[in-house]
Chains A and B, each alone.
Chain A
Amino acid sequence: MNQEGVESESAIVNQLKRLLLAIEVSGRAILPGTNDQLLQSIVDAAARIFGATAASLALVEKDGQSLVFRVATTVPGVESVVGMRVPIDRGIVGYVAMTGQPIAISNVREDARFNQDFARSTGYMPQSILAMPLISNDRVIGVMEVLDKINAPTFGLMDMELLAIFAQQAAIAIDQSQHFDQLGRAVLLGLQTLASQEPGQYGHLLGALQDSQGYSEQDQEILELADLFYDIRMLGEAERRMLLQVTSAFRDYCRSRPGQFGFGRI
């Protein structure tokens, strides 16, 4: 490899390192440990708090026509619903996704259909159900449900209120993880481009990494912000400290005046 090639390679490695770090920083900024384990723990905690036999969380597919179960508690002897798909026009989960309204139902088994085919296929037929929509940016992104309250025939309004808190946390977690997924895909795209290039010819790498199609506008801004923070961090310790102080002061100022910069909903 000639001298020019080595130089450009070291430059690209530096740039790649810098971008990966920026993405890591932005990941941290928008993603406080969000993943399926967090959703799993939300569902497990909900089941415990409600004294429910089972709990699960299903997400609306992109086409808006079906839901897929993402996490669920483990019920001994019962096939897991995780990965199962249900059409949006069927069952309690579908109704809640359609209307954005929570609902509590009991006496399920004897009296009505309630998507029984699906319940039969998993080997578990609930007696009572409480289902709550997960709402993000005014849209239903999924449904969380708890099944069969132990020692009580039905779920009440207080249960509904309590599950709303769990559902809100889950919705925030999912919303954040979806942003991270977009960033992750963009990085993957960049790395794939890198792998397909001849050594020393990495001209398109940055373009691919920064391909705006991979990011939403919000992600793009977060990346720019992360990049900016990285630059300042590299200037030296005093600059880092100053950045921290200025940023904290700005945050506190914004918090004290919600809505002034259009941040009121964040």
Chain B
Amino acid sequence: MSSEPLRPAWSQSFSPEALQIVMTSGPIAHINPEWAWGGSTGAGVRVAIIDSGVEADHPALGGMVRGGVIVNYDEQEPNKVRIEPEEQPVDIFGHGTACAGIIHSLAPEAELYSIRVLGRDLKGRAVQFAGGLRWALENQIQVINLSLSTNREEYYALFHQLTDDAYFKNATLVSAVNNYPVPSYPSLYSSVISVAAHEGKDPFTFFYNPSPPVEFGAPGIDVKVAWIDKGYTTSTGNSFAAPHISGIVALIRAKHPTLTPFQIKTVLFACASNTQAG
């Protein structure tokens, strides 16, 4: 029986009373948002949303959805997944569309790809999730938004390998941590940019947390988001914070195409609203 003690939520590090000022120095102190993404639209950067699908014709996405796949669980196949192309992606819940909408609002010219890993069955979910990640890495996706994670120990190694592959292929993984603090993979790996929600509303205001594993806080509370059937809703959860950072990463990648994931993380650290040159 699993009965983990409840610890303070990941988001607490970003509450006004807990927020710490972090000092930067040397050349890092000179990096600022204007240098990092000023004038960038995300043009040419391929961003994938691993989620419930993306409603390609939703007005909030400005026609930027360039394609997608459905990752089905299939025991007969290698890696236990069957990839099905989806030219005009759809969303079965609305969550993936919400994430895509946030990314598009920050990086309006980034190309969006839907990787649907949620289906009719709970069985094989983590394997589908891994299959989606693998597809993204094989298809030159540069920014991957993961609002999903697994807390099952047996997938620890698999996701560790995939996140390493992502790093070596220069793909930046942005992952929402679970809304309550249980171990979740891959959001807690060092090469992944892990994000929790803060209470602010400005989409470009994000914070750095000097006490990992959760490193960044972005808006995720009462966020107006796109939803299925060309609808909108107001939603709360860390999974809406991650796409804010994904959007900013797309802007940075478009302006500075040679930056590696750890360099991008350093740029984010330097541009966080709670860092100060010292």
Is A117 at the interface (CB under 8 A from chain B)? no
Interface pick from B76-84, B116-124, B161-169, B250-258: B116-124
Minimum-distance CB pairs A-B, first 6:
A112-B231, A64-B122, A104-B236, A112-B227, A95-B93, A111-B231
Q: A65-B120, A161-B180, A165-B6 are in contact. Are A94 and B147 (CB under 8 A)?
A: no
Q: Which residue of B lies closest to A138 (CB)?
A: B152
Residues on B with C-beta less than 8 A from A111 are 227, 231-233
Is A182 at the interface (CB under 8 A from chain B)? no
CB < 8 Å neighbour of A161 from B9, B95, B231: B9
Give CA–CA (A114, B232) in the complex, Å: 11
What are some 15 contacts across the A-B interface (CB < 8 A)?
Answer: A89-B93, A95-B118, A99-B148, A100-B178, A104-B235, A106-B233, A111-B227, A140-B122, A156-B222, A157-B221, A160-B179, A160-B236, A165-B6, A265-B2, A266-B1
Q: A112-B228, A265-B2 are in contact. Are A102 and B179 (CB under 8 A)?
A: yes
CB < 8 Å neighbour of B95 from A95, A160, A266: A95
Instruction: Name B's interface SS.
Output: loop
Contact B118 A98 (CB under 8 A): yes
Q: A112-B94, A112-B228, A156-B221 are in contact. Are A164 and B6 (CB under 8 A)?
A: yes
Q: How far is the CB of B157 from chain A (nearest CB, A)?
A: 15
Chain A contacts to B: CB under 8 angstroms:
60, 63-65, 87-92, 94-95, 97-108, 111-114, 135-140, 154-157, 160-161, 164-165, 168, 172, 175-176, 265-266
Is B219 at the interface (CB under 8 A from chain A)? no
Contact B179 A101 (CB under 8 A): yes
Q: Which residue of B lies closest to A98 (CB)?
A: B118
Residues on A with C-beta less than 8 A from B178 are 100-101
